[in-house]
Structure 1
Amino acid sequence: MNKTLIALTLAAASTLAANAQAESATWTQKILTPETALKAAEAAKAECVKRGWQVAVAVTDPSGLPLVMLRDRYSGWHTVAAAEGKARTAASWRESTSSVAERVNKPGSAEQAIKNLPGVVMIGGGMPIDAAGQMVGAIGVSGAPGGANDDLCAKAGLDAIEGDLAF
């Protein structure tokens, strides 16, 4: 009887160990819904329109893949690519493109080569979207006069969804 109890205990332990190993081999990630992404994009675009700026706004998932793209009727074709690139860059570095650009553009920076990577956009306007300490997406704005103004509009997009992301 004692041997049976030991065998059952060992079997249970090995099952628990296998489950623990399987759990550590995977992870769960929260991602913005397309509806929340659209709400952020619309708020960012509205802020820029209010200021008279014609822009494009992209919102991506945490990997930098687009969820939403909005463009003013008069914003140039280049603003679409730049907005997507800013959001993708913010998602990849998990920080604002203004912060990344400041660091990368310093003379003698060891990171200067990243400016030449395809799709990287090193100017303000890209910001990660965080919720409860986890990045759930990113936003990129392009077309306002200067990166600081693109940042201003991107921040308006983040502010619009802040309450939706409290979990």
Structure 2
Amino acid sequence: MIRYPSLCLAAAAAAGFSITTAAAQDAIVTFKSLTPDVAVEAAQAALESCRAEGYQVAVSVVDRAGNLQTTIRDRFAGPHTPDTSYRKAWTSVSFRTDTLELANLSEKGEAWGIRNVSMALPLGGGVQILAGDGSMLGAIGISGAPTGTADATCARAGIEAIEEKLIF
């Protein structure tokens, strides 16, 4: 029987390397995230959309982890609107669902437990920001329009303004 120790060592090293590489890949998470500039751009576009309809609102954008990236409050928006817009955006990211849908589900009793989560605010106006491949980038929340549906419409206008930047 002929032995090739150097070949065996090379094979063992290669096998060990691939196991190490696989373990390293399992230990590291990579994800896409909005830049602060794009978050501000979306918030400003949403604010302008609401202004065009005559609404004084606050707009918040959070990243995929629910961390606040920006908040803009129009000059006559109520004092509660910055916190409310943030909570709507946070709720959308946390439950990976637009808050208008969560409001409908929780009113019907299907997702009533959401209303017991301390930060959750299942009222219309929180809309997910998704990349072109469908991955979560964050959410935008609006507060101050007369209805949750109107808040959500303004949020979508903010997302549409940055849509070309999300296709990657």
SS at match of 1:118: coil
Q: 1:74 — aligned with what?
A: 76
Q: 1:127 maps to what in 2?
A: 127
Q: State the match for 2:138 in structure 1.
A: 137
Q: How far apart are the structure 2 equivalents of 1:106 and 1:128?
A: 22
State the Cα distance separating 1:3 from its structure 2 match: 2.0
Could you tell me how far apart the structure 1 residues matched to 2:47 and 2:88 are?
Answer: 15
Q: What whole-Å deviation, never above 9, does each CA across 1:114-153 have from its counterpart, x for those lacking one?
A: 2121111111100110002211111000000010000110
Q: What pairs up with 1:4-15 in 2 under 5 angstroms?
A: 4-15=6-17
Q: Shift of the alpha carbon at 1:34?
A: 0.6
Aligned-partner residue type, residue 135 of structure 1: M
Alignment: residue pair count: 165
Length-normalised TM-score, structure 2: 0.94
TM-score by length of 1: 0.95
Q: Aligned partners of 1:130, 1:67: CA distance in 2, in Å?
A: 16
Aligned mates of 1:122, 1:64 — CA distance in 2 = 15
Runs of 4+ more than 6 Å apart? none
CA shift, 1:27, in A, is: 1.4
Counterpart CA distance in 1 for 2:113 and 2:77 is 30
Following superposition, the deviation at residue 62 of structure 1 comes to 0.4
Matched AA of 2:150: N
Letter in 2 for 1:59: V
- Give the distance between the partners of 2:146 and 2:82, measured in 1 at CA: 15
RMSD between aligned residues: 1.1
Identity %: 41
The code of the aligned residue for 2:144 comes to: G
| 1:15-30 alignment runs, 5 A limit | 15-30=17-32
What's the CA shift for 1:81?
A: 0.8
Alpha-carbon distance between aligned partners in 2 of 1:25 and 1:104, rounded to the nearest angstrom: 37
SS in 1 for 2:80: helix
Ranges in structure 2 where 5+ consecutive residues have no aligned partner: none
Matched to 1:102, the amino acid is N
Work out whether residues 114 and 122 of structure 2, in 8 Å CA contact, stay in contact via their aligned partners in 1: no
CA distance in 1, matches of 2:160, 2:63: 17
| Distance (Å, rounded) in 2 between the aligned partners of 1:42 and 1:122 | 23
Cα deviation code 1:81-139 (max 9, x no counterpart): 110000000111112001112112213x2x31221211111111001100022111110
Which range moved further: 93-102 or 54-63?
A: 93-102
Report deviation, 1:156.
Answer: 0.4
